[in-house]
Amino acid sequence: MSDQSSPKYIFVTGGVTSSLGKGIVAASLGMLLKARGYRVTIQKLDPYINVDPGTLNPYEHGECYVTEDGAETDLDLGHYERFLNSPTSKNNNVTTGKIYQTVIDKERKGDFLGKTVQIIPHITNEIKRRIKILGKKNEFDIIITEIGGTVGDIESLPYIETVRQLRWELGYQNSLVIHLTLVPYLAASGELKTKPSQHSVRQLMENGLQANFLVCRTEHHIPKEVRSKLALFCNLNIDNVIESKDLPTIYEVPLYLHKQNFDSLVLKELGLSSETEPDLKQWNSFLQKYKNPKSKVEIALIGKYVSLQDSYKSIVEALIHAGAYSDIKVNIRWIYSGDLTPENISDYLHGVNGIIIAPGFGDRAIEGKIISCQYARINKIPLLGICLGMQVSVIEFARNVLGYKDADSIEFNSQTTHPVICLMEEQKNITNKGGTMRLGAWSCKLKKDSALEKIYNNQEIKERHRHRYEFNSEYLAEFEKNGLEAIGFNPDTGLVEAIIINEHPFFIGVQYHPEYKSTVASPHPLFSALIKASQNYQINKVKNAKK
């Protein structure tokens, strides 16, 4: 679309409070610009000192999202991929931990020639370098950079300072700042209050940045006079004050912003053409199907982090994509696996049409997952086990079908005499937790004419991994003799990637994370297959009840 030699940069900052939805706004804008024909990518700068989210408890920061090249990243990268329908990489997520680690390593090597190492210029220069990496190969016209945290946070200051320097260096027509704030509604006085946004913009200006756009999160429509007041106090044209009202689904946000000409105004500020209207046919079709399903199913999501639903964000979104694709509304029944016992399992799963056993780490609440696998296997309820979900289904089968009562994963019980899930040889001496698992996209060869080959319509696939423990192939022959079959293998290592229980309508376990590759434009076929199997289970149950 553009003939500029270097990309334009859009910086998205936040104020007043966290969790306002900077990632959704960035992803929505990126989708609209891509729909106009521009080459767009989005990166996230996270101010925490962890090197990556890989060692963070999901309760701290939601799910850890994994890229094709094996980076453990912030969950917002999942939004970017789902909205843009294009993969991100390790260069799309930077943390303060990574920045400081790099600078300290350089200092130890003597790269700074004895100079005093400081926040400015050394830390800010490294942040600058990281921001600009994505623009080096001339693959993108526009790079959107979301800055985590809130303006005024101590840990965010180096990033804000870096943006100030970059805007000066890039030239003001080659970059812009979008500031996302909250416009709260006070029920007692019946008013929308602009003061928090005014203070937030002022704080941004004190740090040397003038926002080009103010995106206002609100529960109520913002009248013209309120937008005019915000524009006056924030040095903006009224058209550049954008309303971001609470909507029924995040997938309506791009269309809501487009109605306010947000994308064309952004292009105008950057000196880029907005003549080509965005092609939103596919997006509108998805939304139409999502809002008007022809039927519904209920799927139980069984995990140990269910009290924070962002812990399984990609799974939830994958169910939305696949459900809309099939004109089926998917209701999720959230179940904490630690609550499940053999006595109450039928009460918890009564009426569900399908089950997902969620991924995770550690032995807490594992027995509930194992009990769920047994219940699904015996009662022929469609089940998809993801990563740890596959592993617990293997453990359950070994205990209750093969008769190995102490069968376990050595992650949970290193003394088990039947380690049906074990460590790869190269993992056995690893002591560091971060970044040392099997990560990123790995090849998988599916058995010809297997259920998975039919689901994917392909024998060669690539899926993303995030785990350390593997199926113990020493037991494979015995499993297969008794009805649990391995139907996916890594072609290089021979590791088992997928299993199926024969004589069951749909009982599939995968060692990988299919949810990471589901997007609005390309729903993942495995989730589509689960939803279809759940619908068939529901139909058959109704038929049998009538007999």
> What pLDDT score was predicted for residue 208?
93
* Joined tokens for residue 21: 């939805």
Query: Is there a catalytic annotation at residue 191?
Result: no
Q: What is the pTM of this model?
A: 0.93
DSSP 8-class letter at 117: P
Could you give the strand order of the β-sheet that contains 408-409, starting from the edge strand earlier in sequence? 408-409, 419-423, 469-471
Tokens of 351: 């009426």
Binding residue numbers for Mg(2+): 76, 146
Buried b (16+ CB within 10 A) or exposed e, 112-148: eeeeeeeeeebbbebbbebbbbbbeeeebbbbbbbbb
Please state, in angstroms and rounded to a whole number, the distance separating the CA atoms of residues 518 and 85: 9
What does the pLDDT read at residue 544? 81
Annotated binding site: 18-24, 59, 76, 146, 153-155, 193-198, 229, 245-247, 360, 388-391, 411, 468
Domain positions in the chain:
8-284, 293-546
pLDDT in tens, the chain (547 residues): 444 568 999 999 998 888 889 999 999 999 999 999 999 999 999 999 988 887 777 777 789 999 999 999 989 999 999 999 999 999 999 999 999 999 999 999 999 988 999 999 999 999 999 999 999 888 999 999 999 989 989 999 999 999 999 999 998 899 999 999 999 998 888 889 999 999 999 999 999 999 999 999 999 999 999 999 999 999 999 999 999 999 999 999 999 999 999 999 999 999 999 999 999 999 999 999 999 999 999 999 999 999 888 899 999 999 999 999 999 999 999 999 999 999 999 999 999 999 999 998 888 899 999 999 999 999 999 999 999 999 999 999 999 999 999 999 999 999 999 999 998 665 454 444 444 578 999 999 999 999 999 999 999 999 999 988 999 999 999 999 999 999 999 999 899 999 999 999 999 999 999 999 999 999 999 999 999 999 999 998 888 877 6
CA 417 to chain centre: 37
Q: Quick one: fold of 8-284? A: Rossmann fold (3.40.50)
Say what the pLDDT of residue 1 is: 43
Point out the catalytic residue in the list 179, 321, 465, 513.
513
DSSP classification of residue 121 = I
Q: Which residues are annotated as a binding site for CTP?
A: 18, 153-155, 193-198, 229
Under CATH, domain 293-546 is a member of which superfamily?
Class I glutamine amidotransferase (GATase) domain (3.40.50.880)
Binding-site residue ranges for L-glutamine:
59, 360, 388-391, 411, 468
How far is it, in rounded angstroms, from Cα 264 to Cα 270? 10
By residue count, the chain amounts to 547
* CA–CA separation, 530 and 322 (whole Å): 9
358-381 as b/e, with b when 16 or more CB fall inside 10 Å? bbbbeeebbbbbbbbbbbbbeeeb
d(C-alpha 48, C-alpha 315), whole Å: 25
Q: What is the dihedral of CA 519, 76, 124, 208, to 10 degrees?
A: 110
455's tokens = 């689901």
Q: Which residue numbers belong to the known binding site for ATP?
A: 19-24, 76, 245-247
Catalytic residue among 234, 387, 422, 444: 387
Phi, psi of 145 (to 5 degrees): -120, 115
| Distance from C-alpha of 113 to C-alpha of 115, rounded to nearest angstrom | 6
CB count, 10 Å around CB of 302? 31
Q: Please state, in angstroms and as integers, the Cα–Cα distance from residue 189 to each residue in 185, 186, 193, 228, 302, following that order.
A: 9, 6, 10, 20, 43
Catalytic site includes residue 234 = no
User: 3-state SS string over 236-268?
Assistant: CCHHHEEEEECCCCHHHHHHHHHHCCHHHHHHH
- From residue 210, give the alpha-carbon distance in Å to each of 49, 77, 128, 194, 360: 27, 26, 19, 17, 43
> Shortest CA distance to 208 belongs to which of 11, 63, 383, 31?
11
Cross-strand partners of 9? 143, 175
Whether 206 is catalytic: no
Q: What backbone torsions phi and psi does residue 420 show, to the nearest 5 degrees? A: -70, -20
Domains 8-284 and 293-546 share a fold: yes
Give the closest residue to 525 by CA, choosing from 384, 394, 388, 390. 384
Which is catalytic among the residues 126, 465, 515, 524? Answer: 515
